[in-house]
Chain A
Amino acid sequence: MATTAHTIDPGDLPRAMLDIATSLNDWVIILPIVLCLMGGAFLLLVREWRGAQLGLTLVFLAAIAALEAQLFVRVLTDGPIAMTMGNWLPPFGITFAVDVLGAGFALAATIATIVVVISYSADTMQREVRYGFYSLIMLLLAGVTGAFLTGDLFNLYVWFEVMLIASFGLMIIGGRKIQLDGAVKYGFLNFLATTFFLIGLGYLYGLIGTLNMADIARVASQTNSPAMIAVAGLFLLAFGMKAAAFPLNAWLPASYHTPDAAISALFGGLLTKVGAYALLRTMVLMMPAAREVLDPVITTIAVATLLLGPMGAMAQTNLRRAVGFIVIGGIGSVMAGIAISGLFGVAGGGLYAIHSMLTMTALYLVAGMIEQVTGTDDIRRMGGIYRASSGLSILFLVLVFASAGLPPFLGFWPKLLLLQGALLDNDGLLVAAILINSLFTSIAGARIWAHVFWRNGREGEAPNAINPDLKPVAAAVKRPTIFASAVLVALILFLGLRPNILLESAQIAAVGLVHPDRYTAAVNLEVPDK
């Protein structure tokens, strides 16, 4: 708040600075990000040592995952923890604040990254390694993890940009024509989205004089509410664009199918979810009053995204573009969670985003394998893979059902929470949209499955003509790719069958967002009297 108004006498100094050092235990808050950044820099230093790049990346990623797992368990049992740079007392320093939502998202992102790195390891070309492929992956993860763990809004903007510049690099690595085309659209629109975020952030600072998330949550309700609604609207625009919610979704199907399948998988798993996470943070935690006013807008966006995502998928002939539309449909579920708000909505939206990180990564990886087996990206030219490999068809079908939210797969549980929340709200429109989204996603996925796996040959040919382009899976796809995707699908299956830990974590995360008292206290700010 307005710091200039006070006169400070020496006795007041402890109110501005922490005089005890951060305990070693608490360093775990920042270590995942430090490791990502240092890992990226180190891999760049030893870029000529190409044989070791993959191994080193995996060592770094494993360490990050272990730290994040520990962090997740800790915030789950002990509640949120925070640390402020330079030992300034919040709201003065840049705060990193970790709660169940942030730690869970960070852990899921790291798991998805590990899977992508393993699956791509055999296909990475020497040239891409030399151009810093693994460094870029580490930096992308740094941006994503930083966004999940930070407790400061301007710092969130910086992590968005770290993520963005790393994703630019990954999108054009290889330099094919189609990649340049996709990157132009992706680059401009995403840069524009972060600039909108910056505008909202500037207004927010001008209004309430603080950028600390917990502090904003504390004072937002006491401020000029029309202005706060405008700020929330700008955030909705910016993060909605990053999350690829309708009507700002055009950049995703224009670009995500252009790089290699593994990079598509990384983007589809990680990037849109950062926008969704930022929406949960700002709308639910920081500006619940403004969200209340914007509720009709968010509901409309959610319904439109839920319906148009899978409908877009049905209309595609390019396999990975169709998957891109399924990703967009999933973002609709997260938006529905924000529209429903309340404990069920937030838990459902958050859990859906986690599910979406794992499922969309796997879906893109399997789509990449299908492209390798058939040698084309056109659904009409595929066909007959079931005969060549029934295993691949099972992987794909499980993922389609998981993203449609059919039981017993992982996507079912968050949709159940969302439906429960929407029914409690008597929001029939959202209930219908969520259910129709499941139906449409199943139809879109099953159509792809039928064309790619079920029918024998290519479209337009006799039903029993064998597709001559088909290569055996063992020859076309490298072993690590099959292994990594199968492990991820097994994880999705397992979590779908044993969802208790996820459901309980989602409930705790939702309570932490809707009633942020513990979060505020962890950041060392006074909890306002109710």
Chain B
Amino acid sequence: MLEQVLAALVGIFFAASIYLILSKAIIRMLLGVTILGNGVNLLIFTLGRVSREVPPIVSNGELQPAAGFANPLPQALILTAIVIGFAMFTFLLVLGYRAYQELDADNTDTMRVAEPKDAPRPPLSY
């Protein structure tokens, strides 16, 4: 049951993030990317099978944890992905702010320094 709920939640996260990323405002795209990252983390968590009875700890004298333990690997993956995603988010946030200061643009439509809108035609001789 919990799987279905989590799967639906992942779907909502993805839908919201895609909606935001398709917008042209940098700050919305940034929010979209963050929500997408969280959606993916939740996805990996769900795909690792949700079993929450026993912590994955090997007790004394045993060689493996008790049956039905929570899968620790997705948690390790997610932890890595959270850290990386946070670093990327911070960088993009500062980058977006600097771009706003320097280029006076927080919208990809008006951010045309690298690709000017009225680009000259290619040379026609030869």
Contacts and interface: CB of A to CB of B under 8 A. Distances in A.
Report, as a range, how many residues of chain A touch the other chain. 35 or more
A181 interface: yes
A131 interface: no
B103 A183 contact: no
Interface string B82-126: 001101100110011011001100001001111100011111111
B77 interface: yes
B126 to A, nearest CB: 5
B55 interface: no
Nearest to A161: B84
A195 B36 contact: yes
Contact of A184 (B69, B80, B111, B125): B111
A451 B67 CA distance: 73
Nearest to B56: A4
A254 B119 contact: no
Interface in B27-72: 29, 33, 36-37, 40, 43-44, 46-49, 63-64, 67, 69, 71
Contacts of A258: 114
A154 B77 contact: yes
Contacts of B108: 184-185
Report, as a range, how many residues of chain B touch the other chain. 35 or more
B48 A180 contact: no
A472 B33 CA distance: 48
B contacts with A: majority SS: helix
Given A184-B26, A205-B48, A195 B114 contact: no
A195 B40 contact: yes
A378 interface: yes
B125 A459 contact: yes
B43 A202 contact: yes
Contacts of A314: 122
Nearest to B80: A158
Given A187-B91, A206-B48, A255-B114, A199 B77 contact: no
B123 A165 contact: no
Interface in A443-466: 447, 450-451, 455, 459
A238 to B, nearest CB: 12
B98 A10 contact: no
A203 interface: yes
B114 A254 contact: yes
A205 B126 contact: no
Interface in A73-99: none
Contacts of A7: 64
A451 B125 contact: yes
Contacts of A188: 29, 33, 92
B84 A158 contact: yes
Interface string B7-40: 0000000000000010000100100010011001
A379 B114 contact: no
Given A161-B84, A191-B88, A195-B36, A180 B98 contact: yes
B104 to A, nearest CB: 10
A90 B110 CA distance: 51
Contact of B120 (A172, A181, A378): A378
B65 to A, nearest CB: 9
Contact of B33 (A195, A254, A317): A195
Contacts of A191: 33, 88, 92
Nearest to B101: A180
Given A181-B111, A195-B37, A258-B114, A165 B88 contact: yes
B62 to A, nearest CB: 9
Contact of B123 (A13, A157, A254, A451): A451
B121 to A, nearest CB: 7
B47 A4 contact: no
A317 B44 contact: no
Contact of A8 (B64, B67, B87): B64
B123 A317 contact: yes
A187 B95 contact: yes
Interface string A205-221: 11000000000000000
A10 B125 contact: no
A459 B26 CA distance: 38
B63 A8 contact: yes
Nearest to B65: A4
Nearest to A190: B88
A202 B47 contact: yes
A447 B125 CA distance: 9
Contacts of A447: 123, 126
A379 B126 CA distance: 13
Contacts of A253: 115
A158 to B, nearest CB: 6
B120 A380 contact: yes
A164 interface: yes
A380 B77 contact: no
A253 B40 CA distance: 29
Q: What 6 A-B pairs are tightest by C-beta distance, nearest first?
A: A206-B47, A202-B44, A181-B113, A181-B114, A182-B114, A180-B99
20 contacts: A164-B88, A168-B91, A178-B114, A182-B114, A183-B95, A184-B99, A184-B108, A185-B108, A185-B114, A187-B92, A192-B21, A195-B36, A198-B40, A198-B81, A203-B43, A206-B47, A255-B114, A317-B122, A378-B120, A451-B125
